[in-house]
Structure 1
Amino acid sequence: MKNKLVDRPPWTYTMQIQSLSQLKELFPESEYKSLTFSSGKYNWKQEGQRGGIMYVELDTSSLTASTVLAYLTFFVYNKKENKYFTIQDVEGKHFNAIRPVWGFPRVLPLDTFNDPKNGYVFEGDQCEFGVDVMVPLVNWEVVSFPNTPSKTKFSWTVKKFSKLKDHCYVSDKFIMGGKNGVIKLYPKGYTTTYSKSLSMFVFLADGETMKAVDNRYNYDTRTQGWGWYHFIYLDKLREAYLDKEDSLQVDIEFAVVSTTTSSP
């Protein structure tokens, strides 16, 4: 636990009390609870706004896990300093259905808080409190870069190329950065616009998914693959790239420069 004075805290919830004396009269035996606010997909309430005691209560009806880890920071405005006295929980608290309330039984001594000379009660009978409830993200991502990028090469022989009649031909699967990939070849172009060209793309195999795509590498959102509509003109391909048996040799080589693992 640590405390300090800050200019403007990044709080989740703030509450201004217009009359502290009336609050004490209305709630002489119990603590005042704030309205419900949200943080980290959960609902909370701040309670205990009487200077010395501050707590946060989890609305257990919003629970989606057995336990919620949250880091608490409470704020009390000091009009004299025009700053916020903060008290921060550095270890975090585990909220659950059995223990839905956590906080600090002594944020400020009541004598210090109630004395207007100290600046916590100002303009007659006003005060201001706040709390920041920080729930760590459950999603995570780890990106690693190998010292020596691994290079992979895949070869595919397409036989009797000049007699191909189907619109698309698909290679066998190969491993591409931990994913299964395939080459899709369009011997008469992907569309009629490219009927004089060979179109070729690399796709993820059926059942494989990728969360993000880097568009620097010729990724096409229509085909959902990497490659080219116009890879080479067909007449030039027939002149220079088909062997004596009318076969086309397709090679792909790529280097895995980084890998990413993440939570679902």
Structure 2
Amino acid sequence: MLREHFYYMTKTFSVGGKTWLLTLHRKRFSTLDDKWISIFLHLADNERLLPDERIYTRGHFRVLDPCGSNHITEKFICWHDQSNSGFGHDKVVSMAKLQEVYLDEEDTLSVEIEFEVISATNYSPII
């Protein structure tokens, strides 16, 4: 059984010349609803975007079914325009479904992400 205030942060990885990480949460934004697991992609703490820098990402999160037949996939498209900014899905899998289907024999949850940096830009607002 996952702890009530479950939070997990992956090791960092590089994509598109930037360093990223995934976070998994229980009780992410809805403090009263702890029946869901949330997954978010973040720029790593050491990444500092310039004031006018933006990064456009596109991809998907996947929660893997250990039996291989019923993966959960959530697509995303996001502009990252602040250092350490993140994007994700608040209700990816319910706790009930997680316990029933998505934990393997060792109670391990397998999550993957596939994404690409579509563009990284510096822009100047028109004054």
Q: Same fold (TM over 0.5)?
A: yes
Separation in structure 1 between the aligned mates of residue 44 and residue 90 of structure 2, nearest angstrom: 19
Contact 1:197 1:231 in 2 (8 A): yes
* Corresponding residue of 1:189: 27
Separation in structure 2 between the aligned mates of residue 189 and residue 219 of structure 1, nearest angstrom: 24
1:179 corresponds to which letter in structure 2? K
* Corresponding residue of 1:178: 17
Which runs of no fewer than 5 residues in structure 1 stay unpaired? 1-161
Contact 1:185 1:200 in 2 (8 A): yes
More RCO (CA 8 Å, sep 6+): 2
Output one character per residue of 1:8-51: Cα deviation in whole Å (capped at 9) or x when no partner.
Answer: xxxxxxxxxxxxxxxxxxxxxxxxxxxxxxxxxxxxxxxxxxxx
* Corresponding residue of 2:64: none
Separation in structure 1 between the aligned mates of residue 27 and residue 8 of structure 2, nearest angstrom: 12
Output one character per residue of 1:172-230: Cα deviation in whole Å (capped at 9) or x when no partner.
Answer: 000121111011111x2214244111011011111203322559725699x93110111
Separation in structure 2 between the aligned mates of residue 256 and residue 229 of structure 1, nearest angstrom: 22
* Corresponding residue of 1:253: 114
Q: Structure 1 residues 177, 197: closer, same or farther in 2, change over 3 A?
A: same
The 5 A counterparts of 1:1-264 are 162-164=1-3, 166-186=5-25, 188-191=26-29, 192-210=31-49, 211-212=53-54, 214=56, 217=77, 224-260=85-121
Q: Structure 1 residues 193, 209: closer, same or farther in 2, change over 3 A?
A: farther
1:170 Cα offset (Å) = 0.7
Contact 2:55 2:80 in 1 (8 A): no
Contact 1:196 1:233 in 2 (8 A): yes
RMSD: 3.1
TM-score (norm 1): 0.32
- Greater share of residues in helix: 1
Separation in structure 1 between the aligned mates of residue 115 and residue 98 of structure 2, nearest angstrom: 23
1:251 corresponds to which letter in structure 2? E
Separation in structure 1 between the aligned mates of residue 11 and residue 36 of structure 2, nearest angstrom: 23
Say which SS state the counterpart of residue 232 (structure 1) adopts: strand
Q: Structure 1 residues 220, 241: closer, same or farther in 2, change over 3 A?
A: farther
Output one character per residue of 1:124-170: Cα deviation in whole Å (capped at 9) or x when no partner.
Answer: xxxxxxxxxxxxxxxxxxxxxxxxxxxxxxxxxxxxxx244544211
- Greater share of residues in strand: 2
Which runs of no fewer than 5 residues in structure 2 stay unpaired? 58-75
Structure number with greater Rg is: 1
Contact 1:219 1:225 in 2 (8 A): no
Say which SS state the counterpart of residue 98 (structure 2) adopts: helix
- Aligned identity (percent) is 32
Contact 1:173 1:180 in 2 (8 A): yes
Separation in structure 2 between the aligned mates of residue 189 and residue 241 of structure 1, nearest angstrom: 18
TM-score (norm 2): 0.62
The count of aligned residue pairs is 99
